[in-house]
Amino acid sequence: MSPHDQSASERHVLNVIVDNEAGILAKIAGLFTARGYNIDSLTVADISEDHAVSRITIVTRGPEPVIDQIRAQLERLVPVHKVIDLTEHGAHVERELALVKVAGKGEPRVEALRIAELFRANVVDTTTSSFVFELTGSPAKLDSFITLMRELGLVEVGRSGIVGMMRGAQQD
């Protein structure tokens, strides 16, 4: 069976807490590349007051043994504080931000606004012939909105990538 066989692959959301250090992102991406696994989503953000620590959220797919191996190798990198597989730890929250540009006039324009309201998307820019909507939510919600907007004049999409954390009072 090929290592890329989707039937053997599971989706994993990894939070990697790291020191802000030059080259760390390249090292982390290299661990995935070396095994031939794609990173579906990657976000990085400073999470400490002194700007010394960042959270890298990685969404990937692969067989559990390969993900376990990647996680173990990530934990051995010097600037990595900890690696949390949100998928294995249970209940967690995932959100993503999208900017969606839609062009149209007349009925398609009215329909785009109606659908945006249903999805709780905000209009962040408008002209007489286009809108830019801002939408946050689960990746599935964003995918659904984008699919509907394709029929109404979708021009461009920008997505932030997934950010995730464990539910409950404790810190990851």
> Distance between CA atoms of 134 and 121, rounded to whole angstroms?
5
- For residue 7, the 8-state DSSP code is G
* Dihedral-angle region of residue 170 (phi above 0 means left; psi in -120 to 50 means alpha; beta otherwise): beta
List the chain pLDDT tens, one digit each, 172 residues: 344 444 468 899 999 999 998 899 999 998 888 888 889 999 999 999 999 999 999 999 888 888 888 899 999 988 999 999 998 888 899 999 999 999 999 999 999 999 999 999 999 999 999 999 999 999 999 999 999 999 999 999 999 999 999 898 877 6
CB half-sphere exposure, 43, CA atoms < 13 A: 20
CA 67 and chain centroid, separation: 17
Q: What's the pLDDT score for residue 83?
A: 94
Task: Work out the angle at residue 141's Cα, subtended by the Cα atoms of residues 139 and 144, and round it to the nearest 5 degrees.
Answer: 110
Query: What type of residue sits at position 156?
Result: E
What whole-number distance in Å separates Cα of residue 56 and Cα of residue 29? 11
Q: How far apart are CA 147 and CA 142, in angstroms?
A: 9
- pTM here? 0.82
Cβ proximity of 99 and 134 under 8 Å: yes
- Rounded to 10 degrees, the C-alpha dihedral 16/19/22/25 comes to 0
